[in-house]
Amino acid sequence: MFDFLEGYDVLGAFWMTVKLTALSAVGSLIWGTLLAGMRVSPVPLMRGFGTAYVNIVRNIPLTVIILFSSLGLADIFGMTLGAHDFKVQGFRLAVLGLIAYTAAFVCEAIRSGINTVPMGQAEAARAIGLSFSQTLTLIVLPQAFRSVIGPLANVLIALTKNTTVAAAIGVAEAAYLMKTMIENEAQTLLIGAVFAFGFVVLTLPTGLILGWLSKRLAVKR
C-alpha cells in the first residue's frame, strides 16, 4: 500500500524541515531577544528601530521575504552567505528569511512577558543600584522568559509550519517533496496523509512538552 514511498527520501525531507526549524528557532530567539531589548531600551532611536522593524516585518508575507532573500539578497546584493553550492545557499537564505520574520513574533512575545513582571521587581532592582542592562538581564528577562514559554511554543510551532515556505526557493524540505510526489504518483490522498501525519508528529510533541514546561516553570505570583 505504501510502495509509492519507494524512491523518495521522505525522512530526508522531514530532516530538512527539522534542520530549518532548529536553526531558525535559535537564530530568531537571539535576534528577537535583542529586538525586545531595543524596544524597551532608554535610547529612543533603538526603540524606534525596534518598533518599526516589528510593524514592518509582521505585515509582509513570509513568502515575500523568503523570495526576496533568494532573488534580491542573493542575486542583486550578492549575499551568498559563504555557500558555494546553490542548494546550500538556498538553505542558508531560507534560514535567514525565517529568522528575520520569526524574530518579530519572538520580540512581541518577550515584550509581553516583560510587561507581566511586576513593577516592584524592577523598582527593587533599581533601588539596590543595578543599571538598566543589569535590571534587564538579571531580574526582568529571567522572569519574563519563564512566563512566555507558552507563547514562544506557539511561535515555534508556527515556525515549524512556516518552514514549508522554503519550498518556494527550492529547498528540498517536506512541502517541496510533497509537491513533486503528488505530481508524479497516483495516490494523492495517501501522500497527503503521510505528510500531514509528519507535521502532526513534529508539532504535537512540541506543544505538549513546552505546554507542560510553561506550567511548571511559570513564576507563581
Cell output for 154: 506557539
Cα 203-206-209 angle, rounded to 5 deg = 145
- Mention every residue, 6+ apart, whose C-beta is less than 8 A from residue 118: 221
What mask, x for binding another protein by CB under 8 A, covers residues 121 to 160? Answer: -xx--x-----x--xx---x---------xx-xxxxxx--
CA gap 145, 213 in Å, rounded: 12
Least separation in angstroms between CB 208 and another protein: 6
3-class secondary structure, 149:
helix
Tell me the per-residue interface mask from 51 to 70 with another protein, x by CB under 8 A, - otherwise: ----xx-xxxxxxx--xx--
Residue 159's contacts (CB-CB under 8 Å, 6 or more residues apart) are 21, 24, 25, 28, 98, 102
Q: Which stretch binds another protein (CB under 8 A): 8-16, 21-29, 86-94, 172-180?
A: 172-180
Tell me the C-alpha distance between 178 and 161, whole Å: 14
Using H for helix, E for strand and C for coil, what is the string for 186-209?
A: CCHHHHHHHHHHHHHHHHHHHHHH
- Asked if residue 78 binds another protein (CB under 8 A), the reply is yes
Check binding of 72 to another protein (CB under 8 A). Answer: yes
Is position 164 an interface residue for another protein (rule: CB under 8 A)?
A: yes
User: Which residue, 126 or 146, is less far from another protein as judged by CB?
Assistant: 126
Exposure string of 25-60, with b = 16+ CB inside 10 Å and e = fewer, is bebbbebbbebbbbbbbeeeebeeebeebbeebeee
Q: How far is the CB of 46 from another protein (least distance, A)?
A: 6
CB of 210 to another protein, least distance (A): 9
Strand runs labelled E in 80-156: none
Q: In terms of CB distance, is 38 or 95 closer to another protein?
A: 38
- Residue 99 as a binder of another protein (CB under 8 A): the answer is no
CB of 179 to another protein, least distance (A): 5
Closest approach of another protein to the CB of residue 7, in Å = 18
Which spans of this chain sit near another protein (rule: CB under 8 A)? 40, 42-46, 49, 55-56, 58-64, 67-68, 71-72, 75-78, 105, 108, 112, 114, 117, 119, 122-123, 126, 132, 135-136, 140, 150-151, 153-158, 161-162, 164-165, 167-168, 174-175, 178-179, 182-183, 188, 192, 195-196, 199-200, 203-204, 207-208, 211
